[in-house]
């Protein structure tokens, strides 16, 4: 079977979509951890180490949300405005 060459547009689009899916997966995992950490505190008043766990889970979830937003913006910039991220540009 002959494999068709991927165009530059297809290559960049594929990479950006893979990065988006990875960001969504990270967000989903971070959210699940955040929910689980909060479930571990039945009284609503965490011990000192619980507060640290909540803070860490919250920070990770926040960072994951930012990654998803960045991935969406990069896809939009590429598909709407034709902006190729610098690290995905190929030398001619």
DSSP string, 17-48: HHHHHHHHHHHHHHHHHHHHHHHT-TTS---H
Percent of the chain with pLDDT over 70: 86
Q: Mean pLDDT for the chain?
A: 89
What are the boundaries of each domain within the chain?
A: 24-83
Res 3 pLDDT > 80: no
Rounded CA gap, 81 and 75, in Å? 10
pLDDT in tens, 41-77: 766 665 677 788 888 999 999 999 999 999 999 999 9
H or E segment and range at residue 70: helix 48-81
Res 87 pLDDT > 70: yes
């Amino acid at each position: 079977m002959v494999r068709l060459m991927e165009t530059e547009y297809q290559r960049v689009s594929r990479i950006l979509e893979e990065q988006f899916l990875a960001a969504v997966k990270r967000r989903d995992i971070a959210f699940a951890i955040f929910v689980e950490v909060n479930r571990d505190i039945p009284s609503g008043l965490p011990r000192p180490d619980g507060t640290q766990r909540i803070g860490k889970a919250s920070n990770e979830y926040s960072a994951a949300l930012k990654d998803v937003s960045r991935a969406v913006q990069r896809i939009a910039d590429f598909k709407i405005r034709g902006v190729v991220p610098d690290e995905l540009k190929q030398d001619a």
